[in-house]
Amino acid sequence: MKAFTVAIFLLFMHQTVAANGRPDKTTVIKTLGANILLPCWNTAINVTPSFTRWMKNGQLIIDRNHSKVLTHSSEGHLTILYNQSLYINGLALSDEGIYLCDSLPHDNKTQTSLTLQIVSGPGNGITDIHPATTLSNGTLVVHRGSTVLFNCSSWSYPSQSLSWGFQGVAPRNDSLAAGSGSWLDFRIEDIQPTAQGNYTCRAQNSVSQKEVGWSRELLVYYSPEKHPECQWKTGKDPSHVQFNCSWFGGYPSPTLFWREKHQVPSSQGNQVAGQLMESGVTDRLVVNLNRSLLFDGQTLKCDGYHPTLSTEDEKFCSFTLKSPYPEGEPLVTALEGTNITLTCKESSSLPPALTTWQRTAQQEDVVPSPKYVLSGQGPTFTLTIVNITKQDEGLYFCRSENPLMVRELEIYLTVKTSPQNTGAIIGIFLAILIVGSGIVIAKTVYSSRDRICLGHGFERMEEEREDVLSLVESDEEVFPEAVPRLPPLSLTNGHNTTLVQIHRISSSKT
């Protein structure tokens, strides 16, 4: 190793010799702690020296009688070799200076003078970024919007320059700060995600130009601005449903939990409990359920957690499941030949129910056609039947189904004949009624004609129905004398009457 060092040094000196083949003055730069060999060209050519001494800054530090070593400054630190060169083991800062070699016999024309420059560093670099959290892999984490301080320190001899650089997602390097001295700092206020990347502090020795850098990866965490969003999606089988919980807009991805939430009675009152259905570190969490796991009034909740939020800052979305309940008029009447619209409303179900129309007791699906016009506007569903006939009479069903259950509204449609036939029937009925009433009245008047003629009228017919009227037929001749009146009789009903004898006059033949 020593021979290799000497060879390198001699090569260096060979490149800096004067035109006469011997250097008269040069500067040697060496790192602190290294070993060095300083050559001496002060002796005459082809002459073996008898005595050599080395001086530093005008002070004798070591000499040698080539038969033996006379003095040395420290054991093993300085050594004069057989060719008058000075070997320094483990350079220290105190070894820096101007070295002069003198030998006997010596060459009066040349004297070796060397300037030894000690350099060290950069080293002992420290980077400090705060306030920040350190992950297990050494990466630093700050929160968006905070003020972050960056500081770098290093030691170099005799001097150094420091600089801060940044490399983000874009392939470029940005210089953030520069200066000289043992430390350098700067700050970023209201830090944003664009400031996420690698920060490097570089230190360069001003003499040796040696450069060293220390890098730290910085992540900027931020939570989504909104709450998680709950959605649902039904497939071809309405008894199955997919619930989606999404919480986008944050870094890193949040942790999401799907839970069933319900009240549990306890001694301290009702406590909220929930069965965990699914969880994961993701922006979107999906859980698939079927009808056997769902019931009316069940509450499903998606909880979201993010590293930038405290446990008390709860972010969630939830909804309560409701079974369908279609509503409408169960009895509908329509006239034959007209149009009728059946109406059904269903607005309470969650997830929203699929509502369809069916007809007849076999519940056949109603297919849109010129005969049947289907429409849906919000929670209202209608079925319009065009040009109703008697065959349209019967049962119709408004069927609503969601993942919880199926419910149906039963509607019975009654079809009546047209108004023209109805009028004819009513006219015939009235005519028969009038004619029958006339016959009854006429018969009654005819049977009571004698009472009407006596002046009592109809109003006293009922009262006198117990009176006795005696009609006597006689073949006696009628005399011209006046017919005597019988005295009035007093009847048991309190009315007076007169007995009238009516004689029949027989006709005479002429």
**pLDDT 10s digits, 156-187:** 999 999 999 999 876 666 789 999 989 999 99
Which band of pLDDT confidence, cut at 50, 70 and 90, is reported for residue 150?
A: very high
Is the pLDDT reported for residue 501 higher than 60?
Answer: no
Residue 295 and residue 365 share a domain: no
Nearest to 321 by CA among 411, 241, 237, 436: 241
Q: What is the pLDDT of residues 310-360, one digit of tens each?
A: 988 889 999 999 999 999 999 999 999 999 999 999 999 999 999 999 999
What is residue 432's predicted lDDT score, i.e. its pLDDT?
86
Report if pTM > 0.85. Answer: no
Q: What is the pLDDT of residues 80-124, one digit of tens each?
A: 888 888 999 999 999 999 999 888 776 655 566 899 999 999 999
Chain-centroid distance of CA 184 in Å reads 44
Omega before residue 171 within 30° of 0, cis: no
**Percent of all residues in the chain with a pLDDT value above 90, rounded to a whole number:** 58
Domain-located, residue 501: no
Query: What domain count does the chain have?
Result: 4
Q: What value does the mean pLDDT take over residues 123-140?
A: 94
Q: What value does the mean pLDDT take over residues 452-458?
A: 53
**182-197 in b/e burial notation, b at 16+ Cβ within 10 A?**
eebeeebeebeeebbb
Residue 179 and residue 88 share a domain: no
Range of weakest confidence among 39-43, 48-52, 224-228: 39-43
Q: Residue 343 is part of which domain span? A: 325-416
Is the pLDDT reported for residue 483 higher than 70?
Answer: no
Contact 403, 239 (CB under 8 A): yes
What is residue 264's predicted lDDT score, i.e. its pLDDT?
55
In whole angstroms, what is the distance from residue 383 CA to residue 375 CA? Answer: 7
Nearest to 25 by CA among 13, 11, 36: 13
User: What type of residue sits at position 113?
Assistant: S
Residue 382 and residue 351 share a domain: yes
Choice between 454 and 431, residue whose per-residue pLDDT is larger: 431
Q: Which residues are 129's β-sheet partners?
A: 150
What is residue 449's predicted lDDT score, i.e. its pLDDT?
65
Residue 174 and residue 102 share a domain: no
Q: Which residues are 215's β-sheet partners?
A: 200
Residue 53 and residue 143 share a domain: no
Is the pLDDT reported for residue 464 higher than 50?
Answer: no
Rounded to 5 degrees, φ, ψ at 451 are -70, -35
Domain-located, residue 134: yes
Contact 396, 384 (CB under 8 A): no
Is the pLDDT reported for residue 269 higher than 60?
Answer: no
Domain-located, residue 67: yes
Domain-located, residue 348: yes
Contact 234, 321 (CB under 8 A): no
Which band of pLDDT confidence, cut at 50, 70 and 90, is reported for residue 18?
A: very low
In whole angstroms, what is the distance from residue 505 CA to residue 51 CA? Answer: 212
Q: Which residues contact 190 (CB under 8 A, 6 or more apart)?
A: 145, 146, 147
Omega before residue 403 within 30° of 0, cis: no
Residue 254 and residue 214 share a domain: no
* Highest-pLDDT range among 15-19, 270-274, 305-309, 469-473: 305-309
Tokens 């001749």 found at: 477
Domain-located, residue 480: no
In whole angstroms, what is the distance from residue 50 CA to residue 107 CA? Answer: 13
Q: Which residues are 394's β-sheet partners?
A: 413
Domain-located, residue 466: no
Is the pLDDT reported for residue 426 higher than 80?
Answer: no
Q: Which of the listed residues 370, 393, 416 is the one where a domain comes to its end?
A: 416
What is residue 336's predicted lDDT score, i.e. its pLDDT?
92
Q: Which of the listed residues 376, 394, 416 is the one where a domain comes to its end?
A: 416
In whole angstroms, what is the distance from residue 151 CA to residue 451 CA? Answer: 137
Where residue 65 sits, what CATH number does that domain have? 2.60.40.10
Q: Tell me the pLDDT of the chain averaged across its residues.
A: 81
Domain-located, residue 426: no
Q: Which residues contact 391 (CB under 8 A, 6 or more apart)?
A: none
